[in-house]
Amino acid sequence: MKAKTLQQINLFRLLDIAGATEFGTKYRFDTIKEYSVFTDQVPIHFYSDLLPYIQKMKEGYEDVLWPGKVDKFAVSAGTTGEGKHLPLSRDRLGSDGAYMKEVALSYFRQRPNLFRILGKHLSLPGSIEQQGSIQIGEVSGFSALNSPAWLRPFQLADPESLTKMSFQQKFDLLLKKALNANIKVITAVPSWILTLFQQALSETGAHDIEEIWPNLNLLVCGGVKLSNYRPHFEKLMGNLNPDFIETYGASEGYVAYSDNLDRDDLKLVTDNGIFFEFIKDPLPDKDALSIQDAVPIWQVEKKVPYAVIVSTNAGLWRYALRDVIEFTSLEPPRIVVKGRINEMLDDYGEGLYIYEAEEALSEALSEMNLKKSVFTIAPLLPDETEIPYHHWLVQFSNPIHTDTLKRLAQKIDEKLKRMNRHYAIRRESGTLALPKIDSISQQDINRWLDACDKIKAQGKLPRILRENVDLLI
């Protein structure tokens, strides 16, 4: 079936199932028979809009956003404190399992030789915490617990045990086991895979990964852009030539995956409990985004930036993901992920908003009695032997000593670890190095603006530096 038909079936099935819930009653789901009526009656929602409903679900109330009782919640991007806890219904977990099955079958169709993956699988699931009658954790942990029974004998370590460990405990355990195992498949966030490769080489003294795991045939990556890491993987692997599968998922649900090993774009999954809408040329401001017109999949265009809106079988209704994608194909729908609506440093999984970075910088400068004019941050991974880091370029009001810059970097780092849980996890697990700070002058900035053809009235240094970085560092 075409994507339009599959998506229409999805939408009206979701509305029918959730019609008697608190949310469905409020927005009169039983009267919605057309997509246009759905958009007229149900507004676009953000986490703050759904939070009262989610809180009731956490308190044990049934039939709130989705039928029945929901006692599992996935931690989404947020602070090291409460963060965002998104509901994981049984239906959503079932759909996630179906997604994993579809990814596996797609790979088998391209590589029908099962012996390529018949060996040990190393996966690094997130942690899950029991809080009273509910469970809260990373969606990868819940996915691992719901993996099919036939996969368990191939796992290097028991997934249930791993979800109860701290990151460092599970990483150390998996590394120790892996060094003496015939690893054929690795499934993890790319930043963890790079760290695994680096530490495996350090522990063994091997020249490349081929010496350690000569039968490594498949890397399944998600959570962070694979393209930022793949060149470094390839340098460390020697003559190994494994397949790469990239998955695009979130706490809200799994969205797309690479179904063609020869392509960089991803197939959008249109028949698995998620109804998609898209906002063309999205504005970064939340209030502006909420009133922009959304279109269904049968009205999108290729090579146009869209924000992603989802309605899911976990009870998220017209929920803004804040991701920006572009379509490379319409039938079947295929996408590339371009980034986030808000300015965010997420090249290496750190999920750091620029407003958080600026807040940390301002607080640190105030404490040290320093002043700045502008700043930019370049996320860098110089080569395969190093750890990614943020290189801050700051225009100070007065000359700054090298030792002062080092103390400032440490202060900023500590503040960001308290502000943002993803940044804290990356730093504490050793997959993101301490930031580095250098002072830049107006002459440096002007030289950069000139090189980028931005010498104009509105020309300015971007908050995230991705082009001509060498002109400032």
Neighbours of 361 (CB within 10 A): 22
Least confident of 261-265, 340-344, 402-406: 340-344
| Mean pLDDT score, 446-451 | 82
Predicted pLDDT of residue 390: 97
| C-beta contacts of 222-225 below 8 A and 24+ residues apart | 222/189, 222/246, 222/247, 222/248, 222/249, 223/140, 223/189, 223/190, 223/249, 223/349, 224/189, 224/190, 224/191, 224/346, 224/347, 224/348, 224/349, 225/190, 225/337, 225/347
Measure the CA–CA gap between 407 and 279, rounded to whole angstroms.
43
DSSP secondary structure string for all residues of 196-235: HHHHHHHHH--SSHHHH-TT--EEEEESS-GGGTHHHHHH
At 439, which amino acid appears? S
Least confident of 334-348, 366-380, 394-408, 445-459: 445-459
Do the domains 92-257 and 344-471 sit in the same CATH topology, yes or no? no
Predicted pLDDT of residue 289: 65
Predicted pLDDT of residue 93: 94
Least confident of 184-188, 357-361, 371-375, 426-430: 371-375
As a whole number, the mean pLDDT across the chain is 89
**Which has more pLDDT, 14 or 320?**
14
pTM flag (> 0.75)? yes
Least confident of 9-18, 260-269, 312-321, 382-391: 382-391
The residues near 334 (Cβ < 8 Å, ≥ 6 apart) are 256, 263, 265, 266, 267, 268, 327, 328
Residue 250 predicted with pLDDT over 70: yes
| Mean pLDDT score, 72-78 | 78
pLDDT band at 126 (very low <50, low <70, confident <90, very high): confident
Predicted pLDDT of residue 23: 98
Predicted pLDDT of residue 79: 35
Predicted pLDDT of residue 291: 67
Distances (CA, A) of 122 to 63, 125, 138: 38, 10, 18
Least confident of 76-80, 146-150, 204-208, 290-294: 76-80
Q: What would the CATH number be for the domain defined by 344-471?
A: 3.30.300
Residue 271 predicted with pLDDT over 90: yes
Q: Residue length, the chain? A: 473
Token pair for 372: 């700045």
The residues near 173 (Cβ < 8 Å, ≥ 6 apart) are 157, 162, 165
Give Cα 15 distance to the centre of its chain: 28
Predicted pLDDT of residue 421: 85
Predicted pLDDT of residue 62: 97
Predicted pLDDT of residue 131: 92
Residue 82 predicted with pLDDT over 60: no
| Mean pLDDT score, 131-153 | 87
Does the domain spanning 92-257 belong to CATH 3.40.630? no
Q: Residue ranges per domain, the chain?
A: 3-87+273-340, 92-257, 344-471
pLDDT band at 457 (very low <50, low <70, confident <90, very high): very low
| Mean pLDDT score, 413-431 | 91
Tens-digit pLDDT profile for residues 273-321: 999 999 987 765 555 566 678 999 999 999 888 889 999 999 999 999 8
Q: Which of 383, 390, 323 is nearest to 354 (CA)?
A: 390
